[in-house]
């Protein structure tokens, strides 16, 4: 039970924090819960895609070196996970009436991301124990939240941009989430490669992963502040599109 509580705590804390930033119109609880569980459901297709991707990648090249880990981090892991989260966000919350201000993109993006990250976190902690739970509390779970914020920021813009730029904004948000997710995972993955760590220290690689997370966190905080301002204008002027 202690391990389960440790696995659940960071996701709950992050969701509450993001929810508290929604200043102008609170989202319906049912929609938030549904988004969270859809994020959990997204684990299944992501795992299936990753298993297939790993098999294909291992047939193409040896399981070592920068090229292998770049493809593993950005394509096999980041693309599959962020794409499944995006599909859940785009298919459920985005087209519905309760998605009625730009900040809702961030709200629902984070809810989906935390559903995904929480279920993933339970698996890791039950397998690897307390120390892994503490590390993931401060890094992996918040990292998933930043990816959700960055994606949700652009999805929120796209919802209220009624022109050709809407699709471009959605693609931009998805690619930005994939980029930071892949960058974060890349530095963690290469730590297991002895050939690479002979030339680059594990401490430097881990610090690089943390730095990529901090940059994403900084951008996420800026996105939250900008969307709070946009949501204020949209909420008081509901017919006004974001340009």
pLDDT tens-digit profile of 72-122?
A: 999 999 999 999 999 999 999 999 999 988 899 999 999 999 999 999 999
For 35, 97, 109, 155, 159, the CA distances from 29, given in Å and listed in that order, are: 10, 14, 15, 20, 21
Residue 10, in any domain of the structure? yes
Residue 243, in any domain of the structure? no
Show the domain range for 206: 2-236
State the burial class of residue 84 (Cβ atoms within 10 Å of its Cβ: 0-12, 13-18, 19+): buried
Residue 241, in any domain of the structure? no
- Find tokens 């948000």 and name the residue: 173
Residue 204, in any domain of the structure? yes
Residue 242, in any domain of the structure? no
Q: What is the mean pLDDT of each run of 10 residues along the chain (243 residues)?
A: 90 94 86 97 96 95 92 97 97 94 94 97 92 92 97 94 87 97 96 80 91 96 87 56 42
Q: How many domains does the chain have?
A: 1
State the pTM of this model: 0.91
Residue 49's CB: how many other CB atoms inside 10 A?
17
């Amino acid at each position: 039970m202690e391990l389960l509580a440790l696995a659940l705590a960071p996701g709950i804390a992050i969701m509450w924090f993001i929810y508290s930033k929604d200043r102008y119109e609170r989202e319906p609880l049912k929609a938030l819960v549904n988004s969270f569980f859809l994020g959990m459901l997204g684990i299944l297709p992501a795992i299936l895609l990753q298993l297939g991707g790993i098999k294909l990648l291992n047939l193409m090249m040896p399981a070592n070196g920068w090229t292998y880990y770049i493809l593993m981090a950005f394509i096999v892991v980041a693309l599959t996970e962020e794409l499944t989260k995006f599909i859940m966000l785009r298919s459920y919350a985005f087209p519905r009436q309760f998605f009625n201000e730009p900040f809702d993109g961030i709200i629902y993006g984070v809810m989906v991301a935390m559903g995904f990250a929480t279920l993933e976190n339970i698996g890791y902690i039950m397998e690897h124990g307390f120390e892994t739970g503490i590390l993931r509390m401060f890094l992996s779970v918040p990292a998933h939240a930043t990816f959700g914020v960055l994606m949700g920021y652009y999805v929120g813009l796209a919802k209220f941009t009624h022109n050709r730029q809407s699709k471009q904004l959605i693609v931009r948000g998805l690619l930005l989430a994939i980029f930071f997710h892949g960058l974060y995972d890349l530095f963690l993955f290469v730590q297991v490669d002895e050939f690479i760590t002979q030339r680059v220290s594990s401490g430097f690689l881990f610090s690089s992963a943390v730095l990529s997370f901090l940059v994403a966190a900084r951008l996420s905080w800026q996105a939250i502040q900008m969307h709070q301002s946009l949501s204020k204008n949209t909420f008081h002027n509901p017919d006004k599109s974001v340009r």
